[in-house]
């Protein structure tokens, strides 16, 4: 059995990107750039108006007031005012429209009085020119997004502005989830038998896979039958880059989660970790794929999925595995006892700037699971803490 930090280090070593593919911009959300995005054009590509008003020449501003003839109007779009602006003239212009040649500023419409084909304004239209110069946002060839950027909705705006319709991104890890146990039935069916239990964990794990950029290629509920489990393991290793098996990881003659992968050359990354909850969590490799085994108890399964599965997904998808474990500090809302012999990961909830622990930390509980939004790490053997002291927390 190894410590938490050593287990993470071993996982980080195998959590490497799986490859690169080009995807359409509309499919690139939540993917990680494998190559920088450079601008194919400048923005704006020509000087444009930043306000609705009138494009004029500085040379036409007169002491005591200015009167100019309106010789056209121009809207945002490909068609501009083609003729150079002559002395004593102006053009009605709207936000985003290209300035006519010779114009040097825009007088906003609020400062202008217009009658028929002329405008009048005072001698001082103000310091602001209300013009966005060519390339004032970025120029052709500029790097707008670095490789390794997670493509958020805002980053997609930047990529589209670069005039790129496809992006090179790291491939999504394909993930298969296998949940074991004779007692488990599909939700909605447990009422048909007094001994049945609704299978719940695979739904949470599957959602976590999608949230962290994985492609869920299969989710199966399996009985404790060795032959069927081996067959399912074989199929999952064919279909996925990462296989998650839930349950069957404790000591007992019907604990098959490791045995089902043994025929496929299973080698262990680690077999147990000195943490609470989730000591039975394990990880290995079989037939070139990564396999991670989570405990069957729901809260323990979701805690270990957050601690170990999420960094794997991040690394395989092109992100830094360590970034998935971004520990922060917060003030504890209660006293905490001395640390156990193992690192503890307690479920809690933020209350303003503080963190409140959930009342019951039993690893099998599911009702309170939805209320937890942080994990509080209590390192092995640490001294007791009084309310208000800092604790390590991780978004959960």
Q: What percent of the chain has pLDDT over 90?
A: 88
Q: Which fold has domain 48-132?
A: Molybdopterin biosynthesis moeA protein; domain 3 (2.170.190)
Between these two residues, 255 and 85, which has the higher pLDDT value?
85
Instruction: Kindly report, as residue ranges, where domains of CATH 3.90.105.10 are found in the chain.
Output: 21-42+146-169
Tell me what pLDDT residue 329 has: 96
Segments of the chain assigned to CATH 2.170.190.11: 48-132
Task: Report the pLDDT value the prediction gives residue 139, as an integer from 0 to 100.
Answer: 98
Cα dihedral 42, 48, 51, 52 in deg (nearest 10): -140
Superfamily of domain 328-395: MoeA, C-terminal, domain IV (2.40.340.10)
pLDDT tier at 64 (50, 70, 90 boundaries)? confident
pLDDT band at 254 (very low <50, low <70, confident <90, very high): low
pLDDT at 249 over 80: no
The half-sphere exposure of 209 on its side-chain side, counting CA atoms within 13 A, is 24
What is the predicted pLDDT for the residue at 253? 56
- Please give the average per-residue pLDDT across 325-344, as a whole number: 94
* SS3 assignment, position 329: strand
What is the domain class of 21-42+146-169 according to CATH? alpha beta
- Average pLDDT along the chain: 95
Q: Where in the chain is the domain with CATH 3.40.980.10?
A: 4-17+171-324
pLDDT attached to residue 95:
97
pLDDT of residue 78: 85
What is d(CA 282, CA 269) in angstroms, rounded to the nearest whole number? 8
Mean pLDDT value of segment 263-283: 96
CATH architecture of 4-17+171-324: 3-Layer(aba) Sandwich (3.40)
pLDDT tens readout for residues 29-47:
999 999 999 999 999 999 9
pLDDT of residue 250: 60
The answer to whether residue 252 scores a pLDDT higher than 90 is: no
Euclidean distance between CA atoms 325 and 321, whole angstroms: 7
pLDDT level of residue 299 (50, 70, 90 thresholds): very high
First to last CA, the chain: 25
């Amino acid at each position: 059995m190894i410590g938490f930090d050593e287990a993470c280090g071993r996982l980080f070593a195998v959590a490497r990107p799986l490859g690169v593919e080009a995807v359409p911009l509309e499919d690139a959300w939540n993917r990680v750039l494998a190559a920088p995005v450079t601008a194919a054009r400048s923005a704006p590509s020509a000087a444009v108006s930043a306000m609705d008003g009138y494009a004029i020449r500085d040379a036409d501003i007169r002491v005591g007031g200015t009167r100019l003839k309106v010789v056209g109007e121009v809207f945002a779009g490909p068609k501009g005012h083609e003729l150079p602006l002559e002395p004593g003239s102006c053009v009605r212009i709207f936000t985003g429209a290209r300035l006519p040649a010779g114009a040097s500023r825009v007088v906003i419409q609020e400062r202008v009085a217009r009658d028929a084909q002329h405008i009048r304004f005072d001698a001082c239209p103000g310091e602001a020119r209300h013009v966005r110069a060519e390339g004032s946002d970025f120029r052709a060839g500029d790097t707008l997004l670095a490789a390794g950027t997670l493509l958020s909705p805002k980053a997609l705006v930047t990529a589209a502005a670069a005039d790129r319709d496809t992006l090179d991104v790291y491939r999504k890890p394909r993930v298969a989830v296998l949940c074991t146990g004779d007692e488990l039935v599909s939700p909605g069916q447990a009422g048909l038998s007094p001994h049945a239990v609704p299978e719940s964990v695979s739904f949470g794990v599957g959602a976590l896979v999608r949230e962290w950029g994985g492609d869920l290629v299969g989710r199966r509920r399996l009985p404790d039958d060795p032959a069927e489990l081996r067959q399912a393991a074989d199929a999952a290793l064919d279909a996925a880059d990462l296989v998650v098996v839930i349950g069957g990881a404790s000591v007992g003659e019907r604990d098959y989660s490791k045995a089902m992968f043994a025929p496929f050359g299973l080698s262990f990354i680690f077999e147990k970790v000195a943490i609470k909850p989730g000591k039975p969590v394990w990880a290995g490799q079989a037939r070139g794929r990564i396999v991670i085994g989570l405990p069957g108890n729901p809260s323990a399964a979701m805690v270990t999925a957050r601690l170990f599965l999420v960094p794997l997904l991040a690394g395989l998808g092109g992100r830094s595995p360590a970034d998935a474990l971004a520990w922060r500090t917060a003030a504890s809302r209660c006293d905490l006892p001395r640390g156990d012999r193992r690192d503890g990961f307690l479920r809690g909830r933020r209350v303003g700037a503080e963190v409140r622990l959930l009342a019951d930390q039993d690893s099998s509980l599911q009702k309170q699971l939805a209320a937890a939004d942080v994990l509080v790490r209590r390192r092995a053997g640490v001294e007791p803490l009084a309310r208000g002291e800092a604790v390590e927390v991780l978004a959960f």
